[in-house]
Structure 1
């Protein structure tokens, strides 16, 4: 570490989270009774010798990395490589950041251990840059650990009736870069009718810190009590917030800037018809919804199960 060779200090820090997975391959495979193909995923600290950290949190010396090593039969790795390219592309598309903001960049020069490699690049404010790497690492890692540790890291395949060192497909994505991709595309300034504007954080609903804000129209006439009942009902399933300060328009703007997908307003009609006004963050459309239907309405947009099935 250092700006010049004269002042540099030797540091030994891992450049990726993958090696811990390879070291523990046999342990995980045997205790989990896993069959090929299977994957091991991990999140953790990784390090780069960046002389000048720049572009906000895009390039750092210490960062958070999410990796998966997917173990496959030798000879099937390129088929799985294409499969994981497609799967990861679908995952990124599910966040709704715009398919035009992604592209694949295939490597012309590959690491000595790889036989296929591509990057998923995202259109950051400073242009298309790498967000995720997908690599076919062959059997290099497990064989290297075998050689230097003297312990077998092989898999007995009952269908083939033989032992072999699995090949590996890796997907590796930076958590910090993913954070930057989401926020840089979600934070928007919108011009509205009447010459006004609003700051809105159009986070994917699945990632929004608060899923809904419950707002009594006024702080009297029993409306706060009804709003609090709704909070008490929804809080078991969603992270929700309650806000009664300022005019309702200001509260809408406050929740827009925080990225809250829905604002639920309790008004005087609620006491008679048991309905509330639900406002959509992105479209600003408002509609009357029965209180009993709020949970299913929110769940449709923010539930992980629903999202993963899309």
Structure 2
């Protein structure tokens, strides 16, 4: 390794994953269980995210945690008693699945303390990241491994420098639910970002290109975040820092490009999307899919017709 966060070939190796949120949309389930540990079929959501990071070469993982998040640390630690019990039963398949989470990568933890927004959570990673580009991943977004996004973003960052964000196209009437970007074409599905607005008022979004939870950031973002005033929700918004970076010179770490993602993405940010994600992933499983799809067809066929409200 050379400087923090990069291998000898200049590849980005560090990723910051904020997991300190309270998960209020899933109460009461998240009263004692971190939202990130809710199962998506038979793996917690956070494991999908870490697996995606490691598959992209981001083996140095920093989880920004908070109070009552010990279950996340335990999940990525050894479970000696469980391992011994499975080994004694000769249950090698379940033993393999249990042990996978503890050998995924080099996982570190830091506490966020005060919940002051996504920008503040990213800033908590400054000491660990150092002065090299790094990735940020949000646990609400699961990217299908058949449509890898991070490797493309890392390549764009290597070619253009600065920072890179991921965008998806959303219906214009839903743009106010996201951070939205104003862009200019650069090449194919790569755009140059000229402006960003966090959850604009309905009808005022600069485009229907919405920011999703994958970023590759220049370390200049840390100094920008230190001077970013609280924005929407009285929180330090990463979107506001990226807007500042977009207007900064390249030799100061500025410039923001975007990759428009058109692959398969699953959302676990609210209850309905979480259920959709479970059904989608379970339906495609080799071990569950056939029987589960048969159940779904039978179940849907028995549903009564919807009655329109007057």
Query: The TM-score by the shorter chain falls in which range?
Result: under 0.3
- Higher helix fraction (1 or 2): 2
**Could you tell me the TM-score, scaled by structure 1's length?**
0.24
Tell me the TM-score normalised to structure 2 length: 0.24
More strand by share: 1
| RCO higher in structure (CA 8 A, sep ≥6) | 2
